[in-house]
Amino acid sequence: MHYFVMPLRSVETVKDRHLFSSLLRRTIENVLCQTVKNFRLILVCSERPELGYVPADRITVVETNLPIPTDIAARRRDMNQKIAIGAEQAFLLAGNDDFSIMKIDGDDLLAADLLEKAGLFAESNGFVINKGYLQRLGSRILWKHYRFHEICGSCASVTMRRGGKALMGAGEFADLYIKSIHPKIPGLLEATGRPLHFLPHWGAIYTMDHGDNSSGNRLGFKWRPWRIQPVNEGIARQFPGSSEIFRN
C-alpha cells in the first residue's frame, strides 16, 4: 500500500482562502486519478477542509490541535509536526502490511500513472521524482526541471516496511524533512544504505507564484526554449488538473 501524506497549512495563515481551497480540491482530485488504486491519502489539518464528498476508502482526515503558527519558523515546525502525525497514521492504517509514504503538498499535481510506473521498482527503498514540471499560476506553459526534487517537496516516496520488516519509523520519516530538507533526502538515505530510485519519467508539477508557496518561486535555471512544455491534451490527461487555472 502507498500512503500520500498531505500536511495542510492552517487557513488562518494563508493569504487567499478561496484560492487555497481551490488548489487543495484540485490536488485531491488529481491524486484520486491514480491508475493504480492501492493507495490512501492522509490529510493532516488544523481545521477540517470543506471538500464535499470524501471517499472513505481513499481519504483519511486527521485533525490536530496544534497552535496556529505566527511566523515562518513556526509554520515550518507546524508542517513538520503534521508530517510526523501523518506518518504515524499511515503506520496505524497499514497494520503489519508492507507500505510506503510520500509527502505531497496541497497545491502540487502528480502524474496519473506515477504509482503504476513506480511499481516497476517495488523492491526498492523508494523513489525520487527528479524530472518534473514547474507551472506558474495562471499559465498554460510548463517548465521542465531535471532536478525537480531540489525545488519541490512533493518528490520522494520512501519504503517504510518491506517483507514484514520495518525499515523506518514515523519519526525518522518526519526527520527527513526536519533535518535534511527535501533536496537532501536522496543523499541522506543513500548514506544509510537505503538509496532511492530516480524515476526516468515526468512525475509531478509544482505550482508556483500563488502567494503561499512553502518553497521559492524562482525557476532555478536560465530560460531555454527546450524547457517549455505547453499544457496540451496529452499533458492534461497525464496530469489531471494541470489545465485548470485559478486566479486571485
Instruction: Give residues with Cβ within 8 angstroms of 218, minimum separation 6.
Output: none
Per-residue pLDDT of the chain (248 residues; tens, 9 = 90+): 999 999 999 988 888 888 899 999 999 999 999 999 999 999 999 998 887 777 878 999 999 999 998 888 888 889 989 999 999 999 999 999 999 999 999 999 999 999 999 887 777 899 999 999 998 887 889 999 998 988 888 999 999 998 888 899 888 898 888 765 778 899 989 998 999 999 989 999 998 865 455 554 555 556 565 678 999 999 999 999 998 876 44
> CA–CA separation, 230 vs 165, rounded Å?
44
**What is the CATH number assigned to the segment(s) 2-108+116-129+155-201?**
3.90.550
Q: Would you give the distance in Å from CA 51 to the centre of its chain?
A: 18
Strands 165-166 and 197-198: unpaired
Model confidence, pTM: 0.91
